[in-house]
Amino acid sequence: MPFAEALFEDVRKRTADTVGVSREPYGTGEQTAVDAVARAGGELGLEIKHDPFGNVYLTMPGRDRSAPGWITGSHVDSVPLGGNFDGFAGVVAGLTALAAFRKAGLAPQFDVTVMGIRAEEASSWYGGAHDGHIGSRAALGLLPTAELDSAVQSRTGTSLREQMRKAGFDPDAVGRGKPYLDPARYCGYLELHIEQGPVLEARGFPVGVVTGIRGATRARSCQCIGSYTHSGAVPHEYRSDAVMAVVELVRELDLEWERVREDGGDLVFTVGKLYTDAKVHALTKVPGEANFVLDFRSQDDAILQQVRVAAERLALEIGQRRRVRFDLGSFSLHRPAAMDPEFRRTLLSGCQDLGIRAMEIPSGAGHDAQDFAHAGFRSAMIFVRNSHGSHNPDEAMAIGDFAFGTRLLAWKLLQGA
Amino acid sequence: MPFAEALFEDVRKRTADTVGVSREPYGTGEQTAVDAVARAGGELGLEIKHDPFGNVYLTMPGRDRSAPGWITGSHVDSVPLGGNFDGFAGVVAGLTALAAFRKAGLAPQFDVTVMGIRAEEASSWYGGAHDGHIGSRAALGLLPTAELDSAVQSRTGTSLREQMRKAGFDPDAVGRGKPYLDPARYCGYLELHIEQGPVLEARGFPVGVVTGIRGATRARSCQCIGSYTHSGAVPHEYRSDAVMAVVELVRELDLEWERVREDGGDLVFTVGKLYTDAKVHALTKVPGEANFVLDFRSQDDAILQQVRVAAERLALEIGQRRRVRFDLGSFSLHRPAAMDPEFRRTLLSGCQDLGIRAMEIPSGAGHDAQDFAHAGFRSAMIFVRNSHGSHNPDEAMAIGDFAFGTRLLAWKLLQGA
């Protein structure tokens, strides 16, 4: 695939960091990627548009321009020191499909627009209160204006609003008038993305058809407060041991997770941070404080609700019994996004027609596709097998697997919804 | 008790730190306390001796000087920013008893020596490999010479050997010839100490008669190594989650502790430190590393052995099942020290005779008395009720409770063993 490989390599080189690539949202790296995408689109003779938020749109006109067209793409930014394929593969796949149409002299029945989306990885660069996915949510009318000020560049302290303006875009257009992207004008959104987990690789499938994108309910700053005291001199009944209480809470939630799996429910549960206070803790002190986080993800709203309630109930019960006070803080809630059932079905049958071995798979990570689904677009995702996970410079996608995924995408883009 | 109160107040003032007191082993604060003790002994007309390790001995001759005499006392050093009573109360109690004998014109039947012990709290000041209790272990011939070099002042990097020399003592005498203190020359060792837990206060007893000093088996640098990965994209069966594995291990050991208590066994179990790596951990990453410590204490050697074996067995089993690797490191072992059964019995009957409300109580903290017991001295301890625990500036002992404990000590010192 010389077209795709050249585009991957061009952008990789020009956004390379000490290791991997860095394409900061509304920064130099992201702009470099957008420019390369626009240039490639120009060379293919596509119509080029930009929205006020810096997203780029490259359209190949369909034979019937009045009918709703396809939108496909993914994000062009990356995490710091990330891999070259996370996000960018979806944009390259769309352009590669259009290049193939051009080469074969095919005109699709409906308009096909490849979208290069900004700032999907904003959570890795901006602190403060925001939910990431800035580019897609801005274009879809899902970005609350408050996030423009509450999202703050972690390194510089610059607000997202200021940073967007500096980059030459119009933050004041956020939430103004109708959304830039109107679901009525599109037959659907398709996104190809590398799988960010190990499932396709472990099970030997080059391609996955995504069933849905897990939502998440999270508590970012949980605390358990007990009392520091002498580890030898204080018997069990006089302790307020924060670690033992958190351990019991997390273990009970782990067992709850096991029950959900046994019932066939979709759930992952992670305690990514758990720590006693390094300034105070000691081998010979009963710990008086423990800090932790909770991250539950599921395709099923009801399961997210169930585990959140379980966490709160257990914290109360264990706290009283163990003479400690739990403060779980508030739980954020990101709703799951189901992929369009009809799209999923046709993509699977496409795999059969094209001889591509594929499996159905949930997406545990968030993607722009979830925002399109929440905005009322019929949406689907194609996962491509990838080694070493994602959000690191070691991600590894074989170009052959990318070709399978791109072929499936192109096949679908040639159809109406 | 004007004598005791004056001595407490004099030393408190002269070793005061920003809060509480600081009497660093082989440093200024400890020396100040030793000097005050020696001066008070001199004023009482006691014989004054020093050993090569800086411990001070104040002896009131008995009517029968050839018979084995009593040795009583405790440590004169403190933790940094510690309380005035931890250790020092035992030295003041001994001197107060002798002052009362003097005032009443009583001569004890046997020699009574009050010992002011150095460096019991060395663990709070010296890093590196050592077991604390330097003064008593040196005098009893229990201090391995290697510790003189492996124990290193945490602030300055000075070795214990160098620091002892600087303070004017003779580290080369450690392990040379016969121990300075020979159990055959003493009928027993008695130590009064504040309780460092909440039991006497909670149960309403001014005085406790110690049953034994808990030993400990400890793992100081346990690690669980898994793999960092995406918290949303990786399903349960592909995770190597270090936190979930440690949580299961600690919870199982907590349940083991519960079973030991239900069987009437003596055990306390503490995980004083538990932490993911702050440089790497994140809300949305499965944690690939968790660090922790284990501290088990019991009066029963067999129980210490049992829980250590359980920890190692569980680490292996959970590690294999959860695809992580536990490294518990080596377990240190400090043997429990039983108090002399006959001394315990007479002290309890003494409480009845003197009208002192007392209960039997294990010592969870370590004390110089354990070293005397290990060296073959018949040993006993009297605990005095104390608020707010110990190793902090807020410890609070009522002088009335101290008087009860001192009266019991004096009563026992007037007897033979």
Cβ contacts (< 8 Å) between A197 and chain B: which residues? 229-230, 233-235, 238
Question: What amino acid occupies position B184?
Answer: A
pLDDT score for A198:
92
Position A400 scores a pLDDT of: 97
Q: Which residue of B has its CA nearest to A215?
A: B232
Mean pLDDT value of segment A331-360: 96
**ipTM for this prediction:** 0.86
The mean pLDDT value for A253-280 works out to: 97
Q: How far is B251 from chain A (nearest CA, A)?
A: 6
Which CATH topology does B215-334 take?
Alpha-Beta Plaits (3.30.70)
pLDDT in the model for residue B391 = 80
The two domains B2-213+336-413 and B215-334 share their CATH topology (first three levels equal) = no
Confidence class for position B251, pLDDT limits 50, 70, 90:
very high
CB contact under 8 A, B202 and A238: yes
pLDDT digits (tens, 9 = 90+) for A8-21: 999 999 999 999 99
Query: What pLDDT was estimated at residue B284?
Result: 86
pLDDT band at B278 (very low <50, low <70, confident <90, very high): very high
CB spacing of B232 vs A271 below 8 angstroms: no
Tens of pLDDT, residue by residue over A28-73, are 999 999 999 999 999 999 999 999 999 999 999 999 999 999 999 9
Residue from B218, B22, B30 nearest B129 by CA: B218
pLDDT category, A75, cuts 50, 70, 90? Answer: very high
Query: What percent of chain B stands above pLDDT 90?
Result: 91
pLDDT tens digits, A175-204: 999 999 999 999 999 999 999 999 999 999
Q: Across chain B, what does the average pLDDT equal?
A: 96
CB–CB contact B290 A274 (8 Å): yes
Q: What is the pLDDT of residues B346-381, one digit of tens each?
A: 999 999 999 999 999 999 989 999 999 999 999 999
Q: Is the pLDDT of residue B416 over 90?
A: no
Model confidence pLDDT, tens digit, residues A373-399: 999 999 999 999 999 888 888 899 999
Write the pLDDT tens digit of every residue in B133-174.
999 999 999 999 999 999 999 899 999 999 999 999 999 999
CA nearest to A214 within chain B:
B232
Instruction: Tell me the per-residue pLDDT of B203-230, one tens digit each, with 9 for 90 and over.
Output: 999 999 999 999 999 998 999 999 998 8
What's the mean pLDDT when you consider all of chain A?
A: 96
In this predicted structure, which of A159-163, A357-361, A379-383, B333-337 has the lowest mean pLDDT?
B333-337
Q: Do A295 and B244 touch (CB under 8 A)?
A: no
> What are the two backbone dihedrals, phi and then psi, of residue B242, each rounded to the nearest 5 degrees?
-65, -35
CB contact under 8 A, A231 and B257: no
pLDDT digits 0-9 by tens, A144-157? 999 999 999 989 99
What pLDDT score was predicted for residue A393? Answer: 87
Question: Is B235 within 8 Å of A202 when comparing Cβ atoms?
Answer: no
pLDDT in tens, A90-129: 999 999 999 999 999 999 999 999 999 999 999 889 988 8
- Among the partner-chain residues B218, B247, B281, the one whose CB lies closest to the CB of A247 is B247
- What residues of B are in contact with residue A196 (Cβ under 8 Å)? 230, 232-233
Q: Answer whether A248 sits within 8 Å of B231, measured CB to CB.
A: no
Q: Which residues does chain B have within 8 Å of residue A241's beta carbon, measured at their own beta carbons?
A: 270
**pLDDT for res B417:** 73
pLDDT over threshold 80, residue A6: yes
CATH topology of domain A2-214+336-413: Aminopeptidase (3.40.630)
Disruptive mutation site among B200, B239, B243, B321 for chain A (greatest number of A CBs within 10 Å): B243
Which of these ranges, A262-266, B281-285, B318-322, has the smallest mean pLDDT? B281-285
Contact A236 B285 (CB under 8 A): no
pTM, rounded to two decimals: 0.86
Q: Which residues of A touch B386 (CB under 8 A)?
A: none
| pLDDT one-digit tens code per residue, B48-106 | 999 999 999 999 999 999 999 999 999 999 999 999 999 999 999 999 999 999 999 99
Nearest chain B residue (CA) to A262: B236
A230 — pLDDT class (breaks 50, 70, 90): confident
Q: What is the pLDDT of residue A108?
A: 95
Architecture of domain B2-213+336-413: 3-Layer(aba) Sandwich (3.40)
Tell if the CB–CB gap between A268 and B241 is shorter than 8 Å: no
Q: Where are the domains of chain A?
A: 2-214+336-413, 215-334
